[in-house]
Amino acid sequence: MQKTFKNEKILFAEPLFQCDGLAGFTRSELYENAIHRTLRINQLKKEHNWTQEDFDIAIRCLNYEVGFVIHLSMFIPAIERLATDDQKAKWLPLAESYRILGTYAQTELGHGTNLMALETTATFDPRTDEFVLRTPQLSSMKWWPGSLGKTATHAIVLAQLIIGNKNYGMNPFMVQLRSLEDHMPLPGIIVGDIGAKLGANSNDNGFLILNDVRIPRENMLARNSKVTKDGRYIQTSTNKANYATMVLVRLSIIRWAEDTIKNGSLIAIRYSAVRRQSSLQAGGPEMQVLDYQTQQYKIFPSLAASYALFFTYEAMMKEYEIAYAQIMRGNNQLLGQIHGQLSGLKAFASDLVTYELEMCRRSCGGHGYLKASVVGETLLHTLPLVTVEGDNTVMYLQCARYLLKQIAKALAGQDVDEPTSYLKKDILSYTCPVQKGEHCTNPNYLLKIYTQRAHSAIASVARQLQFDLESGKDQSSAFNNNLVSLVQAAKAHCQLCLMKNFVESVSALERTCSENLASVLRQLCLYFGLHGIVTASGEFLESEAIGLQQLEWIKAEELKSLAAIRPNAVALVDAFDLHDQTVMSALGRYDGNAYQHLFEAAKREPMNQTQVPPAYYKYLRDLIKGQPLAKL
Ligand SMILES: CCCCCCCCCCCCCCCCCCC/C=C/C(=O)SCCNC(=O)CCNC(=O)[C@H](O)C(C)(C)COP(=O)(O)OP(=O)(O)OC[C@H]1O[C@@H](n2cnc3c(N)ncnc32)[C@H](O)[C@@H]1OP(=O)(O)O
Ligand SMILES: Cc1cc2nc3c(=O)[nH]c(=O)nc-3n(C[C@H](O)[C@H](O)[C@H](O)COP(=O)(O)OP(=O)(O)OC[C@H]3O[C@@H](n4cnc5c(N)ncnc54)[C@H](O)[C@@H]3O)c2cc1C
């Protein structure tokens, strides 16, 4: 599942990467530890001639608990995508050698989603051939960018370009924030950390106020548009190309989601295999909780999601690379498709894993509430994914907007993109594919059900929008009246994509892997499909892709699938090939000694380093001895 990291032994031989001790770290300690780790991984990369992929896998092995995440995942990719060749030649070597440390400063205190309303301005001054950057009011200050608080020496600042009295929209500008001599903020720059978060506290997300900061004209990243010395704005590509960095990170978030749900399902399944509690026969031996049907019902969805997201990431990475190669050659034909697909899938993947991670945590009982179980920490660390790189609702709506355009093309007899080719079918020509119970044991039949449900959801909201418009509603009212259905249609399309990628990937693997493995993967794929229908049965019934009889068969088959997966559940998470130090959980260790590791973790608890707590001498001693307490 995860390309086995041949360098694991090297990485985890160093105490710096042994994660047991992170509990109890202060924010400053977490921050320093994260920086130390990334720079040490960089040294290991040089010492052992690791590839960039090895470097990325090392960071994933550490669950992204490293420094410079935005520098690596946004600042550098943004230069690659938004800068001219000359600008790349200047800035990339500095960024790649960490001579400058960057962030991607787009979101403001007052706006994150609505990029058109960003308030930061970059006003061209032809007298000095400079841009003057300004955050005009409190709500304009940049707020959230990672590494902005204490680390970044430079930021790619997204600002409204003003020439004369005209606003040319959001454009990217390279702005130096701190001195490269003493790291002090430069004149006009007010910068700092925005404070503690629910998780990911090693990251110094920051704020930035720009008070008439002047930068040379050449600091506008000018691949897609530029300003001439005499103040003319020349657009060389669609201004949406300036959004390209976000598309890449949305793809990376799908992989981040895959990595975290693998951790969660591994912990839950391994712990459920060793935890014995109660029994179904009076006086009988206590059962492995993994044998309870309800426990399987709680945690096998995370197992199936791990594989579904793995296959979807692989498929989307190929789709992205094709689109990106064309875009970098100036051909934006696939820009809309890749944006629509990745907006929706980033949202669906992050929604899916945050839900299933909580189910994994709950399945561990009381111990799931301990930091040492790590499932809760993983959830806290994953929660931002439903917001970063675009709030999920907004991302679903972008996907829905793409789907509406595609179905309009289909209905007009025009070509549509491959991911939406199913929309070419006549919506009235669908017949329920599952005519007998045994059809529910074939993922290909289920795929037809998902296809019909997605097509029905998109066609239905398109019709409703058309009806509202023809009834006299203006565009924005018609849209706002149908946002819930638009999100539902986008989710239906995304769930179809996951199922399609799962079915096609298993089908491709069958041609090369053993029948035993093929059978296990087919079973998991089948379960993923069955469970998805059961959990959204209302929508599937509404689409007429299934009736009550089919739903009855599907529910029965889903429960049978649980029992079929049970014998291979532990092997399926072992197949993730995750090092104990990656999983970090006392409940999910490969040796299965959960209780011993829990106790070891408790003994490392800082409070246990002394037998008698300081509070005893301040408060408890007099209390226990019945002596009057001094005034508190
Ligand atoms: C990457 C690997 C590196 C490896 C290095 C080592 C490893 C390092 C660490 C591991 C990597 C981890 C990776 C994950 C890191 C995650 C960190 C995240 C930190 C967070 C960062 C951020 O949050 S950055 C800020 C993100 N902000 C947003 O996403 C804002 C959301 N809002 C918008 O995008 C837009 O406002 C909008 C899309 C909602 C609206 O756009 P607009 O206002 O322009 O109006 P329209 O809706 O009318 O759109 C017009 C038109 O444009 C098209 N369009 C919109 N967006 C895009 C796009 N992104 N791309 C292409 N086209 C786009 C839209 O479809 C419309 O087209 P029409 O043809 O007109 O219909
Ligand atoms: C951990 C973390 C790291 C981040 N790192 C960075 C970074 O490095 N660089 C950066 O620039 N930004 C960063 N961000 C900011 C992030 O990109 C924004 O928070 C995100 O884009 C959401 O925007 P918002 O916060 O303005 O939410 P809002 O858009 O204000 O969302 C509030 C509510 O309004 C709803 N809503 C908003 N618009 C619409 C609409 N059109 N239709 C329907 N509903 C709508 C949303 O669904 C949501 O429920 C980070 C955020 C977090 C949490």
pLDDT score of 394: 98
Decide whether any atom of ligand 2 lies within 6 Å of the 107 Cβ.
yes
pLDDT score of 328: 84
For ligand 1, atom 25: residue with the closest CA: 389
Q: Would the pLDDT of 225 be above 50? A: yes
Q: Among the listed ranges 325-329, 377-381, 395-399, 572-576, which one has the minimum average pLDDT value?
A: 325-329
Cα(99)–Cα(534) distance, integer angstroms? 53
**146 annotated to bind ligand:** yes
**Ligand 1 atom at shortest distance from the alpha carbon of 245:** 59
What does the pLDDT look like over 390-409, one tens digit per residue?
A: 999 999 999 999 999 999 99
pLDDT score of 5: 67
Residue count (the chain):
632
Cα(76)–Cα(102) distance, integer angstroms? 8
Distance 75 CA to ligand 1 centre (A): 14
- ipTM of the complex in this document: 0.95
Q: Say if domain 99-236 classifies as CATH 3.40.1160.10.
A: no
Interaxial angle between packed helices 515-535 and 293-328, expressed in degrees from 0 to 180 and rounded to the nearest 10:
100
Closest C-alpha to 532, from 495, 563, 507: 495
Q: Would the pLDDT of 632 be above 50? A: yes
Q: Please provide the average confidence, as pLDDT, over all residues in the chain.
A: 95
pLDDT average, residue stretch 36-49: 95
pLDDT average, residue stretch 77-105: 97
Q: Would the pLDDT of 1 be above 70? A: no
629 by Cβ neighbours in 10 Å (0-12 / 13-18 / 19+) ranks as exposed
Q: What is the distance of C-alpha 410 from the center of its chain?
A: 31
Position 2 confidence tier, pLDDT thresholds 50, 70, 90: very low
Tokens in use for 598?
């829990």
pLDDT score of 436: 87
Q: Would the pLDDT of 71 be above 90? A: yes
| CATH 2.40.110.10 domain span(s) along the chain | 99-236
pLDDT score of 3: 45
pLDDT score of 361: 98
16 by Cβ neighbours in 10 Å (0-12 / 13-18 / 19+) ranks as middle
What does the pLDDT look like over 266-304, one tens digit per residue?
A: 999 999 999 999 988 888 899 999 999 999 999 999 999
**Ligand 2 atom at shortest distance from the alpha carbon of 74:** 8
Decide whether any atom of ligand 1 lies within 6 Å of the 116 Cβ.
yes
Is there a contact between 134 and 211 (Cβ–Cβ < 8 Å)?
Answer: yes
Decide whether any atom of ligand 1 lies within 6 Å of the 249 Cβ.
yes
Position 23 confidence tier, pLDDT thresholds 50, 70, 90: low
Tokens in use for 328?
């970098």
pLDDT score of 21: 56
Cα(50)–Cα(95) distance, integer angstroms? 19
Q: Would the pLDDT of 340 be above 70? A: yes
Distance 245 CA to ligand 1 centre (A): 7
pLDDT score of 493: 98
pLDDT score of 239: 75
Beta strands 206-210 and 142-143: pairing type?
Answer: antiparallel
Q: Which CATH superfamily is domain 245-572 in?
A: Butyryl-CoA Dehydrogenase, subunit A, domain 3 (1.20.140.10)
pLDDT average, residue stretch 536-549: 96
| CATH 1.20.140.10 domain span(s) along the chain | 245-572
For ligand 1, atom 11: residue with the closest CA: 73
For the chain, percent of residues with pLDDT exceeding 90: 89
**Ligand 2 atom at shortest distance from the alpha carbon of 391:** 22
> For a pocket test of ligand 1, which of 55, 60, 69 has the largest count of ligand atoms closer than 8 A to its C-beta?
69
Q: Would the pLDDT of 346 be above 70? A: yes
pLDDT average, residue stretch 66-75: 95
389 by Cβ neighbours in 10 Å (0-12 / 13-18 / 19+) ranks as buried
Decide whether any atom of ligand 1 lies within 6 Å of the 247 Cβ.
yes
pLDDT score of 4: 52
Position 22 confidence tier, pLDDT thresholds 50, 70, 90: low
pLDDT score of 301: 98
Beta strands 154-163 and 142-143: pairing type?
Answer: unpaired
pLDDT average, residue stretch 143-161: 98
**387 annotated to bind ligand:** no
pLDDT score of 330: 84
Residue with the bigger pLDDT between 5 and 67: it is 67
Is 319 part of the annotated catalytic residue set? no
Q: Which of 119, 358, 377, 389 is catalytic?
A: 389
End-to-end CA distance of the chain: 58
Position 371 confidence tier, pLDDT thresholds 50, 70, 90: very high
pLDDT average, residue stretch 43-49: 95
Q: Which ligand is closest to the CA of 241, given by its number? A: 1
